[in-house]
Structure 1
Amino acid sequence: MQIPFFLFPGLACTQRLFSPQREGLSDICRVIVPDWVEPLPKEDLRTFARRWGESVFVKYFSQNDNHPKAFNPSDGCFVGGLSFGGMCAPYIGEFLEEHGIKVLACFNLATIQGGSQIPTISRLLWQSINMLPFGGWKFLQLLCFVSLKLRGKHYSMPRRETYLQLLESPARRCHRVLQMISHWRDIPQNYTFPQIHIHGKHDVLLPLSKLEQTDIFILNAGHLLTLTRIDEVNDILRTEIVKFIS
């Protein structure tokens, strides 16, 4: 049985975000995008991430009648995520290791290493937006819908995908996720598993300049790396994964 690679998506939480990785890495690992867990009111990011990790543990590693083909904990796994999912991934890895699952590595894509790296102006902007009902997401979704209808055929694939993700994501979810991010202030931590970071130098949502630039691959890209730089991202993931399973 292949080693699982759990990839956690960003704000809109659509599995399409990792379709290129699911297909491109299928010969060396099994890419799984875990089911979304609804955030609780006023839940902090670390607590939410650990609940997400608990759902992964129960579904994929608990040996019982409902899951007769669960993965073997001793084989280990990889974790990773993009944007918000990348913020959660290390905490999820931490939870899994506490429950006897060996995390071979954590891949952080287009994300930050701690809440202390969120630019002040971004934090203030997100908090201001979230003061509106459902964080103004209904209005934003309306703008995306109209824009796609009028000019969608002229947009690049990543731009269309961004709009589609926003349209598909429930407003309440976006509101609570943004609330968790804007109140996240943890500093970057060290974990028992290695972390590999992939970031775009043109990422304006989570700027490269705020990161600790060690063990980091920098690509000529923006935020949606997995869709805009498919071959480059998959090559990096493949090279790093092989180091741990060969």
Structure 2
Amino acid sequence: MRYLFAITNILLFINLFGQTTTIIYCFPGQGSDKRIFDSLEIDHSYEIRVIEYGAPDKHMTMNSFARQLSAQIDTTKDFVLMGVSLGGMICVELAEMLNPKRTIIISSAKNRNELPGSYKFQRAIPLYKIFPGRILVGGAKMLQPLVEPDRNKYKETFKSMLGSKTGVYMKRTVGLLINWERENNTKPICHIHGTNDHTLPFRKIKLPTYTIDQGSHMMTLTRAKEISSILNSILTR
């Protein structure tokens, strides 16, 4: 009997030892970096990896940029995709290519129909192409505190993240957003959105999975406790 007990314990140990940790791949927004995820408190059983962007190659689409970034994802292990703003849109594209356990987007859009009307106008008349990239960076620095005043809670962090972006990166990622081709989704997307998001207005979002009352476009950092609670709930389902 004791031998049977010992064998059972050994098998249990082997089973536990052989379990792999699920990886959460985090995709920052256009004007942010890994610091946007700093205040989140995710269950420690998950491994967090933040995807690093460079400037997209010239003439890249959202889909081709996502495909390029997919090289950073280990698909031999269980993984979750999680993205904020532009990062969420990249996750949407990756969800169609790969097989994630979950795809979670925050302050983002599931397809181009959820983007503001100004994006549609710019597709027809691409004014952004006229301006040098450094002007787009400067404009974003000026408009960010006006459009999303909630960022003032972490003013220096948001200034630093946006200030690290190059003109080439900004111009090319603006192009990705304006020319995003996706019109529908075939894979399940868990969408968390705030009612006070002025960058991607809540009124344009179709059936968000979770709504944060008065949450802004910056809420991944400014409302991290609430976002963390929702994320942990999603991950344990």
Which range, TM-score by smaller chain? 0.7 to 0.9
Q: Quick check: 1:112–1:118 contact (8 Å CA) kept in 2?
A: yes
Helix, strand or coil for the counterpart of 2:39? helix
Partner of 2:68: 51
| Count of residue correspondences | 210
**For residue 121 of structure 2, what is the aligned residue in structure 1?**
124
Runs of 5+ in structure 1 lacking a partner?
Answer: 62-72, 98-102, 148-154
Aligned twin of 1:107: 104
- Structure 2 equivalent of residue 76 of structure 1: 78
For residues 178 and 86 of structure 1, the distance between their equivalents in structure 2, rounded to whole angstroms, comes to 15
Q: 1:11 aligns with which of 30, 46, 63?
A: 30
SS at match of 2:101: strand
Distance across 2 between alignment mates of 1:118 and 1:141:
18
Matched, 1:221 2:223: no
Report the TM-score, using the length of structure 1 for normalisation.
0.77
Q: CA, structure 1 residues 34+117, in 2 after alignment: closer, same or farther (shift >3 Å)? A: same
For residues 4 and 208 of structure 1, what CA distance do their matches in structure 2 show? 29
In 2 relative to 1, CA 28–176 (structure 1 residues): closer, same or farther, beyond 3 Å? same
The match for 2:180 is 184
Q: Does 1:195 align with 2:189?
A: yes
Q: CA deviation at 1:96?
A: 2.6
* 2:226 is equivalent to residue 242 of structure 1: no
| Partner residue in 1 for 2:12 | none
Change (3 A) 1:115 1:138: closer
CA offset at residue 157 of structure 1? 2.8
Provide the rounded CA distance (Å) in 1 between the counterparts of 2:212 and 2:140.
31
**CA distance 1:241–1:228, shift in 2 (3 Å):** same
Provide runs of 4+ in structure 1 moved above 6 Å: none
**How far is the alpha carbon of 1:139 from its aligned partner?**
3.5
TM-score scaled to structure 2, two decimals? 0.79
- Relative to structure 1, the CA distance from residue 119 to residue 237 in structure 2 (aligned partners, 3 Å threshold; closer, same or farther) is same
Q: Are residues 1:35 and 2:52 paired?
A: yes
Structure showing greater Rg: 2
**What is the Cα deviation at residue 222 of structure 1?**
0.6
Pick closer, same or farther for the CA change 1:15–1:174 going to 2, 3 Å.
same
What is the distance in 1 between the residues matched to 2:209 and 2:35? 27
Stretches of structure 2 that go unaligned for 5 or more consecutive residues are 1-19, 146-150
Q: Per the alignment, in what secondary structure is the counterpart of residue 215 of structure 2? A: coil
Give the C-alpha shift of residue 211 in structure 1.
Answer: 1.4
Alpha-carbon distance, 1:165 to partner: 1.6
Deviates more, 1:76-85 or 1:180-189: 180-189
**For residues 15-69 of structure 1, what are the alpha-carbon distances to aligned partners after superposition, in whole Å with 9 as ceiling and x for unaligned?**
1111123xx115131111012143111111111112111x223xx35xxxxxxxx
Amino acid at match of 2:80: F
Aligned to 1:70: none
User: How far 1:2 sits from its partner (Å)?
Assistant: 2.1
What's the CA shift string for 1:151-203, capped at 9, x where partnerless? xxxx8233433322211111110110001101113213121xx3211111000
Q: Please report how far the alpha carbon of residue 238 of structure 1 lies from its aligned counterpart in structure 2 after TM superposition.
A: 0.3
d(CA) in 2 for partners of 1:135, 1:170: 7
Aligned CA-pair RMSD: 2.4
Partner secondary structure for residue 25 of structure 2 = strand
Are the equivalent residues in 1 in contact too, given 2:196–2:215 (CA < 8 A)? yes
